[in-house]
Structure 1
Amino acid sequence: MPDMDVALKDAMQIDGAIGVALVDRSSGMALGIAGGTRDFDLQVAAAANTEVIRAKLRTMEMLSLHEHIEDVLVTLETQYHLLRPLTGRSGQGLFLYLALNKDRANLALARHQLKRIESSLDI
């Protein structure tokens, strides 16, 4: 089972990857980061996307939806942002955040690869 650093490096191998972070949903703090640019601050993005996950969880609770979120997709003009809550016991309260260049990414394949990385991640 790969540790966090290996998992983040694996995620950066996904076609079109701009950056990836493992984020604590309760604090919004990125526990690990790979990639990013000077103009794309993954610390800020991780904290802000924590609110997206929290909002979706609140909505599901209000609607009495008793399902797990597989991922949340935000589509921008030039990017995809994937938020994938971890489902394993050791990953409770954490999510993977992956930003992709829309022109270079295959969204279906990226979702599949992120799911594989999540399932093998050992926190």
Structure 2
Amino acid sequence: MADATRGDEGSRYPKSEIMGKIRDAEEQVRQTLKAAEANREKAIAEAKREAIEVKESILEKARKSSDAAVQQAQAQLDREREGILNRAEADAARIGSVSASKIDRAKKHLLDELMRALDDKA
């Protein structure tokens, strides 16, 4: 029984037929392994693509959030700057009014002093 084996019905198969079946089985295993490797590579590529899409989506959301935060901060700064400018204009108007009043009083005082000095000389 070194070069043959018994089948299901008890018949003998020649060694070449058995070796052919073994080669066929080995080829089938190689093809199955090759297909499995191709499927694995395809799955890895798909997973990488999905990971890139998720990363890009997260980055886009972060950009939008950052842009919104910057716009909100800029709007707040604009409102504060407008308030500061309005207060500065009001202060300038008040200072101008006070200055005009003081200038008028100073003119009146100088005129009064001049008139008194002229009256004293006369």
- For normalisation by structure 1, the TM-score amounts to 0.20
- Give the structure with higher Rg (CA): 2
Higher relative contact order (CA 8 A, sep 6+): 1
More helix by share: 2
User: Per residue, is there more strand in 1 or in 2?
Assistant: 1
